[in-house]
Amino acid sequence: HKSFTIATDVEVYFCDPRSPWQRGSNENTNGLLRQYLPRGTNLAHISQNQLNAIALRLNQRPRKTLGFETPADRLRAVLR
């Protein structure tokens, strides 16, 4: 994380253990993933193509926290 911070001038924040309220976006993403992969799903039986399809669906889903843009739209705007 130190080399990342130096290279990008972006500070890295580490949440406290067992503090899900500090990781809102992560917890939200976990909930979205559970729609496709219920708790206890054996990922060894999920193909890379299936995982790619799930990622594509989630990245094309508008998010309130992004002003109802999709993560893909936001990434595209940043990379321009």
Q: Output the tens digit of pLDDT for each of the chain's 80 residues.
A: 889 989 999 889 899 999 989 998 889 889 999 999 999 999 999 999 999 999 999 989 998 888 999 988 998 998 98
Q: What is the dihedral of CA 10, 14, 20, 25, to 10 degrees?
A: 20
- Quick one: pLDDT at residue 57? 93
Residue span of the structural domain in which 16 resides = 2-79
| Cα distance between residue 21 and residue 1, in whole Å | 22
Nearest Cα to Cα of residue 55 among 67, 38, 80, 37: 37
pLDDT at residue number 78: 87
Q: Which residue has the tokens 């580490």?
A: 14
The CA distance from 44 to 8, in Å, is 35
Domain count, the chain: 1
Q: What is the pTM of this model?
A: 0.68
pLDDT number for residue 41? 95
- Please count the residues of the chain: 80
